[in-house]
Amino acid sequence: MKPIDRPPGGPHAGMRFGEFVALIAALMAINALGIDSMLPALPAIGDELGIAHENDRQWIIVAYVLGFGAFQLVYGPIADRYGRKPVLIVSMVLFAIMSVIAGFASTFPLLITARVLQGIAAASSRILAVSIVRDCYSGRKMARVMSLSFIVFLAVPILAPSLGQLILLVAPWNWIFWALGAFGALLALWAGLRLPETLHPEYRVEIAPRAIAGAAAAVLKNRYSLGYTLALTLMFGALMGFINSSQQIFFEVFRTPDIFPILFACIAAAMGVASLINSRIVERVGTRLVSHAGLIGFTLVSGLHALIAAAGHENLVSFGVLQALTMFCFGLVGSNFGSMAMAPVGHIAGIASSVQGFISTIGGALIGIAIGQSFNGSTVPVAAGFFLLGAMAILVVLVTEQGRLFRPQQG
């Protein structure tokens, strides 16, 4: 597909900056909707489909994330060859179809299969969101766009459980999937009508195993690309551990199923506030200062949380406050680590985004499974997991930066 020529007005001709950010945010948000809107429905799905063990319900979340992570290696090369726009439209149509199929699932194995396929279809959104932004911006400007998008993206986890709960009040759990299908179809229509092709003609890459392997090797050999991808993997693993366990924590530990969406929203809102702050300061003070400080804060707060939980002094207030503080620190880390990982490999943004996304998503999902399956009726596995992963991420960043944190550096 021939790219649409860009007039001097901007890097995404035909779209104002605000609309561009909104579309990127919607692409990022589709996965939060695909995950978090399910949380209130897990008990109902488990009861109807005969899921015997409560921890097995977590596979409804994990199956989606594994499908989403695995196929990122496929979408990057395709998007680098054929352009961002056609791949985006086709994948969103497929997401809508798979969502409808998931809504009609009558057995647990069929639902898990549909969720994997739904995740596979949605995998393009992460790749294309990062690649489209990298096509148009770089460095701190890219970090600002990603952070602004992240604000909207984080509003979705705040609202998604409530949306799922609202649907459950008037309809069966199947309707949550059908609502996701409608959102996917809307995104396909929006991109088809408004988004220009952003891939530069000179950056189109033939789908050749040798070329793909060479580009992937370049991503993995670059110290900053690999280092910040691994650190992001550890952070995403912590997030997945919380998401996998959150329904059981609120329903079984604190016995607050009715206010679960509100409590979940308050914790997610802390991430949104952090991302808003990040978007205002990152261009001025730099990605390293903000993200390294956020990572240290994440580790210290989660360490305190682990001590309180292990001592048996955990209650609903302590969990909510400490988890919100931890998520606030996470909001200062995620988008910046992603931008720093992409900065040195912008000329192969599609493949780079695929490799980085594959590592961080699959690795994070596997870490999240370990934390989630460790649920033992307390908050200790989540709090201790956060602390250990934060400490490991600090070590990775130290190696990446050759022992120097907060180093001012463009990008």
Quick count: other Cβ atoms within 10 Å of Cβ 366?
16
Distance between CA 404 and CA 289 in Å, rounded? 11
109-131 residues labelled b (16+ CB within 10 A) or e (exposed): eebbbbbbbbbbbbbbbbbbbbb
- pTM as predicted: 0.78
Q: By C-alpha distance, which of 83, 85, 92, 259 is closest to 165?
A: 259
Quick count: other Cβ atoms within 10 Å of Cβ 350?
29
Q: Could you tell me if 67 and 120 are in contact, meaning their C-beta atoms sit under 8 angstroms apart?
A: yes
For the record, the structure tokens of 362 come out as 């699959």
Distance between CA 204 and CA 198 in Å, rounded? 11
Position of tokens 């509100």?
262
Query: Which pLDDT belongs to residue 188?
Result: 94
pLDDT tens digits for the chain (411 residues)? 333 344 334 566 567 887 888 888 888 889 889 988 988 999 999 989 988 788 888 899 989 989 988 887 888 788 888 888 999 999 999 999 999 999 999 899 999 999 999 999 998 887 788 778 877 776 666 767 776 676 666 677 778 888 898 999 999 999 999 999 999 999 999 998 888 888 877 777 777 777 678 777 888 889 999 999 999 999 999 999 998 898 889 988 998 888 888 888 888 888 878 888 887 888 788 889 999 999 999 999 999 999 999 999 999 999 999 999 999 999 899 888 988 888 888 777 667 777 888 888 899 989 998 998 898 889 999 999 999 999 999 999 999 998 888 776 544
Phi, psi of 101 (to 5 degrees): -60, -45
Q: In this structure, what DSSP letter does residue 39 have?
A: G
How far does CA 200 lie from the centroid of its chain?
Answer: 26
Amino acid at residue number 49: L
Quick count: other Cβ atoms within 10 Å of Cβ 201?
10
Distance between CA 33 and CA 30 in Å, rounded? 5
For the record, the structure tokens of 325 come out as 């503080």
Amino acid at residue number 292: H
Distance between CA 104 and CA 327 in Å, rounded? 35
Query: Which pLDDT belongs to residue 410?
Result: 45
For the record, the structure tokens of 172 come out as 């069966």
Three-state secondary-structure class, residue 166: helix
For the record, the structure tokens of 285 come out as 């003070």
Q: Which CATH number fits domain 17-400: 3.40.640.10, 3.40.50.300, 1.20.1250.20, 1.20.272.10?
A: 1.20.1250.20
CA distances from 388 to 305, 364, 380, 381, 385 (A): 12, 14, 12, 10, 5
194 contact partners, CB below 8 Å, separation of at least 6: 14, 15, 19, 23
Q: Could you tell me if 302 and 327 are in contact, meaning their C-beta atoms sit under 8 angstroms apart?
A: no
